[in-house]
Amino acid sequence: MRYDDSPPPPESAASVSPDPPWYARRSTLAVAVAALAPTALAGWVLTQVLTGSGPGGQPPQPKALPASHTTGAGAHGAGDAKASTATPSPAAPDSASASASASASASAPAAPAAPAKGPLAGRTVVIDPGHNTGNFKHTSEIDRQVDIGTNRKECDTTGTTTNSGYMEAEFTLDVSRRTRALLESKGAKVVFTHDADRPWGPCIDERARIGNEAKADAVVSVHADGVSAGNRGFHVILPATVKGGAADTSKIVGPSRDLGERIAGNFARSTGSAPANYLGSGTGLVVRDDLGGLNLSTRPKVFIECGNMRDAKDAAQLTSPEWRQKAAEGITNGIVGFLGG
């Protein structure tokens, strides 16, 4: 650049080169930029790799783990526990995988129970253990009168005992539990009216209602008698034809007799006991219309008095675990025969 006002000395045409046209200058610049771009890009990529920077110059953030790795209630959708941001250690991938599998197993719905198998599959049997060991301490409650259709009767009774104090309620619960195990092994669904899980009762009308509401295919109430010594043997009580108030046994009298006859025959064979010598005329079968548990039942139902707790010889059998197992087998076999199993 010149700083004086004198005109520039003339130059000869031979020494002066005309300026290149504008498009030539831009082409040269474009070539230069194009030549430099790959080099610059490669350098930038290398810088990102070496520095660990992500887009915008920020280091990349670790990804949140899947929901199966969340902790606390959040893993089950409570919403207030956040997902963990800790990255599993490369040295222990198996532990992370196991954690995910365990969490997935915990949240997976339980597999449905396998259908019952056996000759009584699909059948429901209600077992009614007579009385309750707590009845002795709740006499005012069990003395309350309830409607049994034909008249009114006490809610329940204490039951009897052997001369040594073995309670009828203990006996009935033990035989009932043994019977339940045998029936369930054959595929039956077994419902108890009680299982020593209440302080007294239930009342006789509730016992009948439990069988009705369960839509039981058969109901058996387990008892032992308490008459004078010398009276021995078992008997099965069948419902009489009763119609009055809430009681109507017309539909269950026939099937209940079938159930009772089958239980009586199998009970005698299993235990070796004879039918009662003091009632039933040696058949082991008695019909009654004064028992609310039978009057109010709408399902085939019988009572079995397994022996006389007040007779020393019968009591020796009733207090024997081995004999009680035979009693349970006799009752079970009778039910199986009745249900066609």
Residues involved in catalysis? 305
Q: Tell me the pairing of strands 247-248 and 243-244.
A: antiparallel
Residue 31 tokens, joined: 């070539």
What does the alpha-carbon distance between residue 283 and residue 286 come to, in Å, rounded to a whole number? 8
Q: Tell me the pairing of strands 235-239 and 285-288.
A: parallel
Rg (CA), the chain: 45
* Angle, helix 321-339 to helix 253-271, in steps of 10 degrees: 140
Rounded (5°) CA angle 246-160-211? 30
167 C-beta neighbours (distance < 10 Å), count: 20
Residue partners of 243: CB distance under 8 A and separation at least 6:
149, 249, 250
Which of helix, strand or coil describes residue 12? coil
Tell the burial category of 73 from Cβ atoms under 10 Å away from its Cβ (0-12, 13-18, 19+). exposed
